[in-house]
Structure 1
Amino acid sequence: MFTGDWLDIGPIDQIPLRGSRTVPVAGGEEIAVFRTGDNAVFALVNRCPHKHGPLSQGIIHGHSVACPLHNWSISLKTGQAEGADKGCTPTVPVKVDAGRVLICRAATLAAAA
């Protein structure tokens, strides 16, 4: 369901605390939507900048996710690798409106370019 340029991906409670879900985007890359322990919501392209591991399968700690392949820590806010690691995963604007999670469709397509 589209609301303007935002793609409604469902209720926030369908994303577990300290968990994620993935959203396939026609013409774009798969997006991982994360919900942290303090109920913040973030969205990133679902690939680590190192070896393209699926970030949605990583462990969330604070506002970061650990890549399941090589344990790189990626900031959920900026997509930047943290610590000594270098690289960046594209972020996608996300918001919660009336308990529903929405991601910016235009950003999902731009991330694929």
Structure 2
Amino acid sequence: MTAVTNGTGVRLGPAADLVPGEGRTYAVGNAQVAVFRMTDGTLRATDAVCPHRGGPLADGQFDLGQVVCPLHQYAFRFADGGCAEAGMDAVRVYRVAEVEENVVVWV
């Protein structure tokens, strides 16, 4: 999906389109951002591409603390983007929120 920029962040689209337990990739300028709706309704956002081999993080399994790349099972923490695997690069994490019924991310 293509993002729309406003003065307080980047509006990605209707919040209702992102259901609990789902991850989705959005184009934000030149970046790809994965946004995840937790089962408790909160949102998390990271780079959409795993630094290992380019796996689609939005398609990975996730919980409140981390997302797991679907290709090689590297787990990245939502708190800081770090990975427990030695030598693995971190992913960027982004501030994300639901604002006026839209998903908004700050990159």
TM-score range, shorter chain: 0.7 to 0.9
| SS of equivalent residue, structure 2 residue 36 | strand
Superposition deviation, residue 16 in structure 1: 1.9
Percent of paired sites with the same residue:
26
Residue of structure 1 in register with 2:54 after alignment: 52
- Ranges of 4+ aligned residues in structure 1 off by more than 2 Å: 49-52, 84-87
Match of 2:69 among 52, 67, 70: 67
Residue of structure 2 in register with 1:102 after alignment: 104
Superposition deviation, residue 79 in structure 1: 1.2
Match of 1:36 among 20, 23, 38: 38
Cα distance in 2, alignment partners of residues 14 and 7 from structure 1: 16
Superposition deviation, residue 20 in structure 1: 1.1
Cα distance in 1, alignment partners of residues 59 and 70 from structure 2: 6
Q: TM (normalized to structure 1)?
A: 0.79
Structure 1 unmatched runs, 5+: 108-113
Superposition deviation, residue 35 in structure 1: 0.8
| SS of equivalent residue, structure 1 residue 13 | helix
Pick the structure with more strand per residue.
Answer: 2
Name the Cα RMSD after superposition: 1.7
Counterpart contact for 1:36–1:63, Cα < 8 Å: no
Q: TM (normalized to structure 2)?
A: 0.82
Aligned length: 103
Cα distance in 1, alignment partners of residues 105 and 64 from structure 2: 21
Residue of structure 2 in register with 1:9 after alignment: 12
| SS of equivalent residue, structure 1 residue 92 | strand
| SS of equivalent residue, structure 1 residue 43 | strand
Cα distance in 1, alignment partners of residues 65 and 100 from structure 2: 23
Q: List per-residue Cα deviations over 1:50-98 (Å, max 9, x = no partner).
A: 222110110112331110111111112321113x444310112212213
